[in-house]
């Protein structure tokens, strides 16, 4: 089931592990991205970027996905989906807010009630693959908890969604033609899975 989104927030640098957080910041510094002024930090982007599309279109070859758990607030519940904060890495060297705004944010149409997974939240795992190769893998507890992030940003209202941070990439940040991701719940033996294609548009000037 899908839900209408009127406000979209991207939470960045949300890692609990300071060493892992520094590693991710270093990854981005290596491609020219300035470190954040605060951690975590919250970027507002257009709600229209939130999509369940099977393909997104990007400008040029310098974009990549990153798996995240996504909080979606409905009129009567807080739900958890899996999504990709697809980002233009070239634009990121100019400004992170700009880079976040330039790409669609694919999110699984399926989601779980947060109350269902809250008792065993620490068991949930995130994974992603770029062109079939394992790209990211780790527990959701690598990032700050939903309660922590919502306390720092402000309680989510109906129609709001928040991407909640990502894991370090295996082998460095890189793009691909297909990005697959999943959020696994080993306790209830289920997964949220989603895959999308990336169509690169030519840059003419």
Give the model confidence (pLDDT) of 77-101 as tens digits: 999 999 999 999 999 889 889 999 9
Which two structure tokens, joined as six digits, stand for 72?
């979606």
Residue 18 has pLDDT above 90, yes or no: no
The CA-based angle 137-55-40, given to 5 degrees, is 45
List, in order, residues 6 or more apart from 18 with CB less than 8 Å away: none
Looking at domain 7-201, its CATH architecture is Alpha-Beta Complex (3.90)
2 falls in which pLDDT band (50, 70, 90)?
A: confident
Average pLDDT, integer, range 5-15: 95
Which two structure tokens, joined as six digits, stand for 77?
């519940």
Q: What is the pLDDT of residues 29-68, one digit of tens each?
A: 887 778 888 889 999 999 999 999 999 999 999 999 999 9
CB 168 within 8 A of CB 24: yes
23 falls in which pLDDT band (50, 70, 90)?
A: confident
CB 15 within 8 A of CB 21: yes
- Comparing 160 with 20, the larger pLDDT belongs to 160
List, in order, residues 6 or more apart from 75 with CB less than 8 Å away: 158
139 falls in which pLDDT band (50, 70, 90)?
A: very high
The CA-based angle 102-17-125, given to 5 degrees, is 70
Backbone angles phi, psi at 59, to 5 degrees: -95, 110
Q: For 178, which DSSP code?
A: E
Rg (CA), the chain: 16
CB 47 within 8 A of CB 72: no
150 falls in which pLDDT band (50, 70, 90)?
A: very high
Which pLDDT does position 36 carry in this prediction?
A: 84
Three-class SS of residue 39?
Answer: coil
Residue 129 has pLDDT above 90, yes or no: yes
Q: What is the pTM of this model?
A: 0.93
Which pLDDT does position 20 carry in this prediction?
A: 73
Which pLDDT does position 43 carry in this prediction?
A: 96
């Amino acid at each position: 089931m899908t839900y209408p989104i009127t406000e979209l927030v991207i939470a960045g640098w949300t890692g609990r592990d300071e060493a892992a957080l520094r590693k991710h910041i270093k990854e981005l510094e290596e491609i020219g991205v300035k470190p954040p002024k605060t951690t975590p930090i919250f970027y507002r982007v257009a709600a229209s970027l939130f999509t369940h599309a099977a393909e997104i279109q990007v400008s040029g070859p310098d974009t990549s996905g990153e798996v995240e758990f996504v909080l979606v607030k409905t009129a009567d519940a807080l739900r958890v989906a899996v999504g990709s904060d697809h980002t233009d890495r070239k634009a990121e060297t100019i400004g992170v807010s700009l880079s976040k705004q330039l790409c669609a944010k694919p999110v699984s149409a399926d989601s779980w009630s947060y109350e269902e997974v809250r008792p065993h939240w620490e068991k949930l795992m995130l994974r992603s693959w770029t062109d079939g190769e394992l790209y990211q893998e780790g527990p959701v507890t690598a990032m700050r908890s939903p309660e922590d992030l919502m306390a720092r940003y402000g309680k989510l209202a109906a129609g709001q969604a928040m991407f909640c941070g990502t894991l370090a990439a295996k082998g460095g940040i890189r793009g691909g033609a297909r990005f697959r991701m999943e959020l696994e719940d080993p306790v209830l033996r289920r997964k949220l899975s989603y895959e999308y294609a990336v169509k690169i548009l030519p840059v003419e000037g």
